[in-house]
Amino acid sequence: MAAITSVSCRPLCASVSTRAAARPSKPSSAPQYAFVRPMKSTRSTNRLVVRAEAEEGFDPQKFIKEASEKWEKVENKSAVAVYGGGALALVWFSSTIVSAINAVPLLPKMLELVGLGYTAWFVYRYLLFKSSREELIKDVDELKKRITGTQ
Protein backbone atom coordinates (compact mmCIF):
# COMPACT_ATOMS: atom_id res chain seq x y z
CA MET A 1 0.00 0.00 0.00
CA ALA A 2 1.30 3.44 -0.88
CA ALA A 3 1.95 6.20 1.63
CA ILE A 4 -1.05 8.38 2.38
CA THR A 5 -0.66 12.12 2.08
CA SER A 6 -2.64 13.93 4.74
CA VAL A 7 -3.39 17.55 5.48
CA SER A 8 -3.10 18.71 9.07
CA CYS A 9 -5.07 21.86 9.87
CA ARG A 10 -3.69 24.11 12.58
CA PRO A 11 -4.83 27.54 13.76
CA LEU A 12 -4.03 30.20 11.17
CA CYS A 13 -1.87 27.73 9.25
CA ALA A 14 -2.42 24.80 6.94
CA SER A 15 0.59 22.68 6.12
CA VAL A 16 0.92 19.59 4.00
CA SER A 17 3.02 16.77 5.36
CA THR A 18 3.79 13.38 3.90
CA ARG A 19 3.63 10.46 6.27
CA ALA A 20 2.33 6.94 6.43
CA ALA A 21 -0.87 6.88 8.43
CA ALA A 22 -3.71 4.48 9.00
CA ARG A 23 -6.29 7.22 8.61
CA PRO A 24 -6.19 10.93 7.67
CA SER A 25 -5.91 13.39 10.53
CA LYS A 26 -8.95 15.45 11.52
CA PRO A 27 -9.02 19.23 11.43
CA SER A 28 -8.00 20.76 14.73
CA SER A 29 -10.73 22.34 16.82
CA ALA A 30 -8.21 24.45 18.73
CA PRO A 31 -8.87 28.19 18.96
CA GLN A 32 -7.10 30.52 16.58
CA TYR A 33 -3.96 32.10 17.95
CA ALA A 34 -2.18 35.32 17.05
CA PHE A 35 1.06 33.48 16.34
CA VAL A 36 1.99 30.90 13.74
CA ARG A 37 4.33 27.98 14.32
CA PRO A 38 5.14 26.00 11.20
CA MET A 39 4.90 22.20 11.25
CA LYS A 40 8.02 20.09 10.93
CA SER A 41 8.25 18.53 7.53
CA THR A 42 10.67 16.51 5.47
CA ARG A 43 10.45 19.09 2.71
CA SER A 44 11.83 22.55 3.09
CA THR A 45 8.94 24.87 3.79
CA ASN A 46 8.61 28.60 3.85
CA ARG A 47 8.52 29.79 7.43
CA LEU A 48 5.99 32.43 8.26
CA VAL A 49 6.80 34.60 11.25
CA VAL A 50 4.15 36.94 12.60
CA ARG A 51 5.12 39.49 15.20
CA ALA A 52 3.00 41.94 17.11
CA GLU A 53 3.68 45.57 16.45
CA ALA A 54 2.68 48.51 18.60
CA GLU A 55 0.51 50.94 16.75
CA GLU A 56 1.93 53.96 18.52
CA GLY A 57 4.93 54.11 20.83
CA PHE A 58 6.32 56.83 23.05
CA ASP A 59 7.55 59.75 20.99
CA PRO A 60 9.95 61.92 23.04
CA GLN A 61 9.86 64.79 20.56
CA LYS A 62 6.06 64.91 20.75
CA PHE A 63 6.23 64.83 24.57
CA ILE A 64 8.75 67.69 24.67
CA LYS A 65 6.66 69.72 22.23
CA GLU A 66 3.48 69.25 24.30
CA ALA A 67 5.32 70.04 27.55
CA SER A 68 6.78 73.25 26.10
CA GLU A 69 3.34 74.29 24.81
CA LYS A 70 1.84 73.77 28.27
CA TRP A 71 4.74 75.66 29.87
CA GLU A 72 4.11 78.61 27.55
CA LYS A 73 0.45 78.70 28.67
CA VAL A 74 1.45 79.03 32.36
CA GLU A 75 1.02 82.60 33.57
CA ASN A 76 2.98 82.52 36.85
CA LYS A 77 6.12 80.58 35.95
CA SER A 78 8.08 81.64 39.03
CA ALA A 79 5.45 80.15 41.37
CA VAL A 80 5.52 76.86 39.46
CA ALA A 81 9.32 76.78 39.72
CA VAL A 82 9.19 77.48 43.47
CA TYR A 83 6.56 74.78 44.04
CA GLY A 84 8.54 72.30 41.93
CA GLY A 85 11.76 73.03 43.82
CA GLY A 86 9.93 72.75 47.13
CA ALA A 87 8.48 69.39 46.10
CA LEU A 88 11.95 68.09 45.18
CA ALA A 89 13.38 69.31 48.50
CA LEU A 90 10.51 67.63 50.37
CA VAL A 91 11.10 64.32 48.58
CA TRP A 92 14.82 64.50 49.39
CA PHE A 93 14.13 65.35 53.05
CA SER A 94 11.57 62.55 53.45
CA SER A 95 14.03 60.11 51.85
CA THR A 96 16.63 61.13 54.43
CA ILE A 97 14.17 60.59 57.28
CA VAL A 98 13.13 57.15 55.98
CA SER A 99 16.79 56.13 55.66
CA ALA A 100 17.44 57.21 59.26
CA ILE A 101 14.41 55.26 60.51
CA ASN A 102 15.54 52.16 58.59
CA ALA A 103 18.91 52.33 60.37
CA VAL A 104 17.27 51.87 63.81
CA PRO A 105 16.99 48.16 64.71
CA LEU A 106 13.44 46.72 65.07
CA LEU A 107 11.77 50.04 64.23
CA PRO A 108 11.11 49.19 60.56
CA LYS A 109 9.45 45.88 61.54
CA MET A 110 7.28 47.64 64.13
CA LEU A 111 6.23 50.22 61.55
CA GLU A 112 5.38 47.41 59.12
CA LEU A 113 3.10 45.92 61.79
CA VAL A 114 1.47 49.32 62.32
CA GLY A 115 0.90 49.60 58.56
CA LEU A 116 -0.53 46.09 58.41
CA GLY A 117 -2.88 46.88 61.30
CA TYR A 118 -4.02 50.12 59.67
CA THR A 119 -4.62 48.30 56.38
CA ALA A 120 -6.73 45.67 58.13
CA TRP A 121 -8.74 48.40 59.91
CA PHE A 122 -9.26 50.31 56.64
CA VAL A 123 -10.50 47.20 54.85
CA TYR A 124 -12.89 46.41 57.71
CA ARG A 125 -14.09 50.01 58.05
CA TYR A 126 -14.46 51.03 54.39
CA LEU A 127 -14.26 48.08 52.00
CA LEU A 128 -15.92 45.09 53.64
CA PHE A 129 -19.56 46.22 53.65
CA LYS A 130 -21.57 47.85 50.86
CA SER A 131 -22.84 50.77 52.97
CA SER A 132 -19.32 51.68 54.07
CA ARG A 133 -18.04 51.47 50.46
CA GLU A 134 -20.76 53.90 49.41
CA GLU A 135 -19.74 56.19 52.28
CA LEU A 136 -16.11 56.06 51.11
CA ILE A 137 -17.11 56.88 47.53
CA LYS A 138 -19.16 59.83 48.76
CA ASP A 139 -16.24 61.09 50.89
CA VAL A 140 -13.79 60.78 47.98
CA ASP A 141 -16.15 62.63 45.63
CA GLU A 142 -16.59 65.37 48.23
CA LEU A 143 -12.81 65.67 48.63
CA LYS A 144 -12.37 65.90 44.83
CA LYS A 145 -14.92 68.71 44.71
CA ARG A 146 -13.13 70.57 47.52
CA ILE A 147 -9.75 70.20 45.79
CA THR A 148 -11.00 71.31 42.38
CA GLY A 149 -13.04 74.12 43.91
CA THR A 150 -16.39 73.08 42.46
CA GLN A 151 -18.12 72.85 45.85
Nearest to 84 by CA among 66, 71, 97: 71
Assess if residue 72 is contained within a domain. Answer: no
Assess if residue 124 is contained within a domain. Answer: yes
Assess if residue 41 is contained within a domain. Answer: yes
- The per-residue pLDDT for 57 is 79
Tens digit of each residue's pLDDT (9 = 90 or more) over 86-143: 999 999 999 999 999 889 989 989 999 999 999 999 999 999 999 999 999 999 999 9
- The per-residue pLDDT for 45 is 56
Tens digit of each residue's pLDDT (9 = 90 or more) over 14-38: 444 445 545 555 555 555 555 555 5
Assess if residue 69 is contained within a domain. Answer: no
Select from 9, 30, 53 the last residue of a domain. Answer: 53
Assess if residue 148 is contained within a domain. Answer: yes
Assess if residue 61 is contained within a domain. Answer: no
Assess if residue 87 is contained within a domain. Answer: no
Assess if residue 142 is contained within a domain. Answer: yes
**By the 8 A CB rule, do 102 and 111 touch?**
no
Q: Which residues pair with 6 in a beta bridge?
A: 17
Select from 18, 36, 53 the last residue of a domain. Answer: 53
Q: Which domain holds residue 48?
A: 1-53
Q: What are phi and psi of 93, to 5 degrees?
A: -65, -45
pLDDT at 48 over 70: no
Select from 9, 36, 53 the last residue of a domain. Answer: 53
